[in-house]
């Protein structure tokens, strides 16, 4: 299975050897790729919708990875137990929903060392939320695929207050501005 450029970028942000939870897994492509390529030890693929979850189950079975990827019906992080994942991927949904999922999963924050976030909209709101809640964006990129722009963030707890000190920094990301990301040119 070949990942899209966007999903490949998301997958590249996951630290090697992680136990991941993919929230809103849809077809299950990211966890399958990570486990199959030896980049993740174990994965939990979760989605709130039954249809995509059934497709994810079928794809996991086709890949022969049922013993390393659990597929679960879950609203955000509610189906994840503390310690099951050290990296969480939340990609392919709007910024408000990303924030809602993070807020609802607050009890898991200290058990998860790394977050890969790729909100499709409202990036400024996501950055403000992360800063307010002491998360730090430690890695970030922006790319273009099929005429659409996508941002991927690597995030940890223990934020650097004031990293985004102006409106352009909230909108476009301090790291992307400093890196002179070509998509921003």
Residues 17-71: pLDDT tens digits? 999 999 999 999 999 999 999 999 999 999 999 999 999 999 999 999 999 999 9
Cβ atoms of residues 9 and 144 within 8 Å? no
Looking at the predicted structure, is the pLDDT value of residue 1 above 90?
no
Summary mean pLDDT of the chain: 90
Q: What is the pLDDT of residues 99-151, one digit of tens each?
A: 999 999 999 999 999 999 999 999 999 999 998 999 999 999 988 899 998 99
Structural tokens at position 90: 């939340």
CB neighbour list of residue 165: distance below 8 Å, 6 or more residues apart: 174
Pair 156, 182: CB distance under 8 Å: no
Number of Cβ atoms within 10 Å of the Cβ of 85: 26
The reported pLDDT for the residue numbered 149 is: 87
Q: Which pLDDT does position 6 carry in this prediction?
A: 95
Q: Which domains does the chain have, with CATH numbers?
A: 5-184 (3.40.50.150)
Contact by Cβ (8 Å): 154, 20: no
pLDDT in the model for residue 168:
53
Q: What is the pLDDT of residue 142?
A: 87
Q: Which pTM does this prediction carry? A: 0.90
Q: Is the pLDDT of residue 170 over 60?
A: no
């Amino acid at each position: 299975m070949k990942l899209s450029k966007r999903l490949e970028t998301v997958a590249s942000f996951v630290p090697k050897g992680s136990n991941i939870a993919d929230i809103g897994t849809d077809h299950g492509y990211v966890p399958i790729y990570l486990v199959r390529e030896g980049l993740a030890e174990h994965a939990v693929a979760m989605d709130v919708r039954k249809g995509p979850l059934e497709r994810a189950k079928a794809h996991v079975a086709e890949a022969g990875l049922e013993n390393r990827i659990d597929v679960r019906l879950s609203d955000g992080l509610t189906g994840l137990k503390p310690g099951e994942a050290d990296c969480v991927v939340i990609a392919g949904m709007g910024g408000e929903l990303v924030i809602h999922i993070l807020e609802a999963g607050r009890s898991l924050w200290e058990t998860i060392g790394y977050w890969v976030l790729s909100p499709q909209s409202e990036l400024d709101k996501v950055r403000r939320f992360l800063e307010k809640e002491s998360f730090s964006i430690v890695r970030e990129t922006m790319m273009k695929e099929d005429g659409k722009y996508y941002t991927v963030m690597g995030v940890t707890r223990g934020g650097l207050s004031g990293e985004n000190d102006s409106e352009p920094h909230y909108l476009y990301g301090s790291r992307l501005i400093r890196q002179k990301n070509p998509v921003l040119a």
